[in-house]
Amino acid sequence: MANREDVWFMPDEGGPHERTWMAFGASAKIWGKKLLPEVQRNLATIALTIAQYEPVSMVVRPTDLLLAKQLMGSKVELIRCPLDDVWMRDTGPVFVVTEHGDKATVDCNFNGWGEKQEFHQDANVASFVAQRARVRRIRANLVLEGGGIEVDGHGTAIITESCVLNENRNPGVSKAQCERELKRLLGLEKIIWLPGITGQDITDGHTDFYARFARPGVVIAGYDPDPKSFDHAVTTRHLDMLRGATDVEGRTLEVVVLEAPSRVRATFANDDFAAGYINFYVCNGAVIAPEFGDPRTDAAAKRELQRAFPGREVVQINSDGIAAGGGGIHCTTQQEPKV
């Protein structure tokens, strides 16, 4: 399906990018006064790291424009935009293309992950980005977020049921109805559904904290070895399911496992801290990934990512402030593909 010139499809994140979109929208109301400066520094570090490999466009709350300029200078394009928060992966659009070279955005109707957080300004970010990118905007008939979607660019997707099939997003919508709409929007032919988990984090278990495609047929998956963690049972089940799954071509998936750190730096550790390596971001020529101060698992994650992405530089950065808010590097970014 995805090879037909007149059909929109979502490319693999590892394909060529025109740019990365981000949002400098952290506030003391959501993040607290202690965490806010660290989150803002983390956003700048992520943006400046990516900017070494491709252009970065950062939408910025007008009152934060001066601070953003101080942190990033002229290396990142700064664009005024009303914002509630920082999660461009979810608030921004999903870019789709055709084989013919057309490009559009899909607006996924962001509703604050089931109205868990103020979202009325962030609900307009997808349309704002589409306008700035000068591309057509397609409105989805579902409520979902980019962090819940993982594709290989060739017709296969991995999606967590806990997000899309959740009454707080799509009440009364069946899995079959979801599949039809996702296939229409993203050029998919096969969806591998993982159960995910509801209620443990604000996203209800986004895919990009559990499984990511390195390339067609190869999936990188997270594993939490701590039996006391709610994610231990979830990640164990996901690994079993992924190892038994096939993609649209009928290939059994090769699963590369990234083990979560056994400890993190104490400065910003809290109950919401998202300590996993799966939330990396693939940009032109590089993989931007987190490190948490655990020498063994930090090194193992870098080693496995280098093997999975042999043509790219793996760059690990400290993003503890973002992690303390329950997110990661991937959550703060959205790729615009080059056509």
* Phi, psi dihedrals of residue 330, rounded to the nearest 5°: -60, -40
* Known active-site residue 81: no
Contact 128, 59 (CB under 8 A): yes
Q: 233: which 2 tokens?
A: 């049972």
| Residues 6 or more apart in contact with residue 299 via CB below 8 angstroms | none
Q: Which of 81, 108, 163, 331 is catalytic?
A: 331
DSSP string, 263-296: ---STT--TT----S---EEETTEEEEE--S-HH
Assign 54 to helix, strand or coil: coil
Q: Which residue has the tokens 């990188």?
A: 220
- Cβ-contact 289, 277 below 8 angstroms: yes
Q: DSSP states of 149-197 as a string?
A: EEE-SSSEEEEEHHHHT-TTTSTT--HHHHHHHHHHHHT-SEEEEE---
Of 24, 41, 8, 37, the residue nearest 91 (C-alpha): 24
Under DSSP, the state recorded for 320 is H
Give the closest residue to 73 by CA, choosing from 53, 47, 50, 42.
47
Give burial (CB, 10 Å; 0-12/13-18/19+) of 169: buried
Residues whose CB falls within 8 Å of the CB of residue 104, separated by 6 or more in sequence, listed in order: 8, 95, 96, 97, 130, 135, 136, 137, 138
CA dihedral (21, 215, 275, 91) positive or negative: positive
State how far Cα 116 lies from the chain centre.
19
Active site residues: 331
